[in-house]
Amino acid sequence: MAGYIRALRWRGGFQAFKRSCHAQKTRLLWLSQDQNCFQCRALSSTPACRNRYEEVFRRSIEQPDDFWAEAAEKLVWHKKWDQVLDNSNPPFTRWFVGGELNTCYNAVDRHVKSGRGDQAAIIHDSPVTASVAHITYKQLQEKVSLLAGVLRKHGVQKGDRVLIYMPMIPEAVIAMLACARLGAIHSLVFGGFASKELATRVNHAEPKVVISANCGVEPTRVVPYKPMLDGAIDLSEFKPSSCIIFNRPHFDPAPLKAGRDFCWEEEMAGSSLVDCVPVSATDPIYLLYTSGTTGMPKAVVRPSGGYAVVLHWTMSNVYGMNPGDVWWAASDLGWVVGHSYIAYAPLLHGNTSVLFEGKPVGTPDPGTFFRVIRDHNVKGMFTAPTALRAIRAEDPEGKFAKKYLPTDSFKVLFVAGEHCDHETMDWTKNLLQTPVLDNWWQTETGWPITSTCYGLDMDLNPPSGVTGKPVPGWNVKVFNAAGKEAEVEELGEIYVKLPLPPSFSTLWKADERFKETYFTQKPGYYATMDSGVRDEHGYICVMSRSDDVINVAGHRMSAGALEEAILECGDVVEAAVVGVPDKLKGMVPLGLCVIKHDCITSHEEMVKNVIEAVRKSVGPVAAFKKALIVPKLPKTRSGKVARNTLAAMAAGKPFQIPVTIEDASVYPSIKEELLKLGIGTQN
Ligand code: COA
Ligand code: AMP
C-alpha cells in the first residue's frame, strides 16, 4: 500500500515535472531562433536518422551475438573467439569465449602502428602543481613497455595481482596499462582511502607488487601516500613482495624500506621493453572494489575482451567522439568512471584523454573546468553533478566560466554518478549552450546502462530529470512492488534482463555472493538496487538506491563499513549510519551512536572521536562529519536497525514506524538530538 501511495504521489510529480520540461523546451527553441543555440543545431541535423537509436537498440537485444561480434571486429585479436556468447551457466555469462587479445596493445601499440604515434594520448593538467604535460601514444608505449619490464623483473606474470595506489598522475595510467600488457590484474585504490581500507584490499586481492607514489596533492595540503601504504602493509596479513614507488618531482621523496621498496625511476632506467602478452577474453583485466551493504570487500571482476569491446563501442555510439578528438572525464582514476573513461575507453578509441589533477573550485577558482576545456580543445566531457553544484555555488552568474566560453571545440557534457537536479542541469545548459546529458551507471556495469546516445542521433534535449534511454545491450525493466512490470510512470525497482552485456563477470573470490547479491531477487534478472520510473517514450528516471548504500558526491559509501569503523572507537556499543541530503554532495553520512552507559567521556568528545575514527579507518573521502549520541537505536524484533526510518527522519520526510519495531519510544529522543544538530525531522 505504501508503495502504491508513493507511486501515485510520484506520478503527480512526474506530470508536473514534464509540464515544466515542455515549457523549458519551448523556451529554448524560441531562444534558438535568435541565438543559433544547440537545440536548433541538433534538431536541424538529425530528422532523417531519428530512429537509429531504436534500430540499434532492438538489434542489440534481439541479436546480441551478431551485435557485439560486429563491435569486436573493430579491435585487434590475437586469436578470434570460438563463441561470442556463452550463456549456458547464467548469471556467469561469458563473452568472446576462446578469443585472445591484449587490451594494452589495442589501447596503445595499435595506434602507434596505425600512425597516431605523435598524437597526445594523455594530457595531464594539474592546477595543484601548476603544470601541464602531454604524452604522445609513442611515448606512452615506451613508458608502459618499460614498466611492464620492471613488473616482470619483480616476478609479475599473467593472472598475478598488482595494487596501484596513486594520485592523478600519468604514471597511474602507465601502471594500469603495464599490468594489462603482461596480463596481470590490477586493483587501483582511490587515494582518499586510509590505511585500514587499503589493507582490506591488500589482503583480499593479494597483490604480488604494489605501485605507489610519494604523495598526492590536495588544494590545501600534500597527502603523503607512502606512510599510508606502509600502515596498510603492516595491518595486512598478506605481504606484497615488492613496492615500486614513484617520487613526484618537487616533493620530498618517500623513504624506501630496503629489500621491499624500489624507486620507480631507477627501476625504469634499468628495464627493457616488454611486448604484449595475449590473454583470454574472459581473463580479468582488473578488480575494482565497491561498497555493498556490509563492510566486506566486494571486488567487481572485469573481463578483458568484453570490456574492451564495449568501451570502444561506447566512445563513438554513446559519447559521440571520433578518434583523434580530445575527451575529458573529470573523475578520479580510483572510481569506475576513471577506469573506464579516463584510462581505457578513450585510449582504446584513439582519443586524447585529459587527466585532471584538481578540483572544480579552489584550484584556483570556479573557472578551472572551462579553462581546461578551452586550453585543450576538449570536445566531450564527463563530470558529476556535485562538481557542477560546487561551481554554481561559487559562481552563480558564470562570470569565471565566461572568461573561457564559448569555445568552438566543445560539443557535449555528460553527467553521472548521482541524480542531477533540475536547477543544476538548466544552469549548466544555459552556461555552456551545448547539450548536457545525464547517464546512469554503476561500478558493477563499467559503462552506462541508460544515456542519451549522442552518437546514435538521439534527441539531445531529453526531458529534464531523466537519465536517458537504455543503452544498446541493456534490457532494462522496472518492476513494481507486486513484482509485475511497472506501468508507465509507476515507481519501481530497476532490473536488467539477462544475459548482461559484456563487462561484469563475477565478484573476486565470491561467485556465490555474486549470485546472491544481484540475481536472487528476481530470477533471470540483474537487480540494480536502484529504483525509478519509465515514461511513455521509454526514458528512465533513476530516483534512489533501495539498499543501504549512501551516494556521497557521486561516490558510493557503505553504511555498514562506516558503522564498523565507528564501532572500533572504544565506548561505542551500537551505531547506525544513514545518508542526509546535502546541498553540495547530494548526500552526506550521519552516524547515530549508542555509547556505554558508564562512559565518562563527554558527548562532544565522543562525537569528535567517532569522526576521527572513521577518517582514520575509511578515509577523508567518506565526508563523515556529522555524528550524534543517542540513548538507543530503533530495532525490529529480529534485531535489525530500522535505518530507513532514521534516514527519513534525518531528511525531514514523513515515515511510518514499522509495526515490528521493538521499542517505538526511542524515536522522540533521537528527534531531539537531530534537532540540536539542525537536521530536519518529521513525526
Ligand atoms: N587523496 C587524498 N585525499 C583526498 C583525495 C585524494 N585523492 N580526494 C579527496 N580527498 C579528501 C579531501 O581532501 C577532503 O578532505 P578534508 O575532509 O580533509 O577536506 C575529503 O577527502 C573529501 O573530499 P572531496 O569529496 O573532494 O570534498 P571537498 O569538500 O574537498 O570538495 C567538491 C567538494 C564538490 C569540489 C568535490 O567533492 C568534487 O570535486 N566532487 C566531484 C566528485 C566526482 O567527480 N565524482 C565522480 C564520480 S563519477
Ligand atoms: P557507483 O557504483 O559508485 O558508480 O554508484 C552507482 C550508483 O550511483 C547507482 O546505483 C545510482 O544509485 C547512482 N547513480 C549513478 N549515476 C546516476 C544518475 N545519472 N542518476 C541517478 N543516480 C545515479
CA dist 662 and 658 (Å) reads 9
CA distances from 646 to 459, 495, 598, 624, 640 (A): 41, 27, 25, 17, 13
Q: How far is the CA of 507 from the centre of ligand 1 (A)?
A: 27
In short, whether 13's Cβ falls inside 6 Å of ligand 1 is: no
Q: For ligand 2, pick from 419, 557, 558 the residue to mutate: most ligand atoms within 8 Å of CB.
A: 419
Q: What is the mean pLDDT of the chain?
A: 90
Q: How far is the CA of 190 from the centre of ligand 2 (A)?
A: 18
Q: Which three cell numbers stand for residue 567?
A: 564501532
Q: How far is the CA of 418 from the centre of ligand 2 (A)?
A: 5
Q: How far is the CA of 196 from the centre of ligand 1 (A)?
A: 19
pTM: 0.89
Q: Indicate which ligand has the atom closest to the C-alpha of 555.
A: 2
* Whether 503 contacts 445, CB under 8 Å: yes
Q: Indicate which ligand has the atom closest to the C-alpha of 383.
A: 1
The confidence band for 293, taking pLDDT boundaries of 50, 70 and 90, is low
Q: How far is the CA of 550 from the centre of ligand 2 (A)?
A: 10
Q: What is the pLDDT of residue 46?
A: 42
What CA dihedral angle connects 479, 682, 418 and 533, to 10 degrees? 20
The confidence band for 206, taking pLDDT boundaries of 50, 70 and 90, is very high
Residue 24 has pLDDT above 50, yes or no: no
Q: What is the pLDDT of residue 682?
A: 58
**pLDDT > 90 in the chain, percent:** 78
In short, whether 618's Cβ falls inside 6 Å of ligand 1 is: no
Please name the residue whose Cα sits nearest to atom 18 of ligand 1. 620
Q: What is the pLDDT of residue 681?
A: 64
Q: How far is the CA of 530 from the centre of ligand 2 (A)?
A: 8
Please name the residue whose Cα sits nearest to atom 23 of ligand 1. 621
Q: Which three cell numbers stand for residue 676?
A: 540540536
CA dist 453 and 443 (Å) reads 20
Q: What is the position in ligand 2's atom list of the atom closest to the CA of 439?
A: 19
Helix (H, G, I), strand (E, B) or coil at 358: coil
Residue 653 has pLDDT above 90, yes or no: no
Instruction: Looking at 73-225, list the stretches that DSSP marks H as alpha helix, in order from N- to C-terminal side.
Output: 103-104, 110-111, 137-153, 170-182, 195-205
Q: Which residues sit with their C-beta closer than 6 Å to ligand 2?
A: 290, 336, 416-419, 438-443, 467, 530, 542, 545, 551, 555-556
Q: For ligand 2, pick from 441, 469, 533 the residue to mutate: most ligand atoms within 8 Å of CB.
A: 441
Please name the residue whose Cα sits nearest to atom 9 of ligand 2. 442
Q: What is the position in ligand 1's atom list of the atom closest to the CA of 216?
A: 1
pLDDT tens track for 470-482: 999 999 999 998 9
* 192 DSSP assignment: T
Write the DSSP assignment of 202-231 as a string of letters. Answer: HHHH--SEEEEESEEEETTEEEESHHHHHH
Q: What is the position in ligand 1's atom list of the atom closest to the CA of 167?
A: 7
Please name the residue whose Cα sits nearest to atom 20 of ligand 2. 419
The confidence band for 184, taking pLDDT boundaries of 50, 70 and 90, is very high
Longest CA–CA span in the chain (Å) reads 75
Q: What is the pLDDT of residue 546?
A: 79
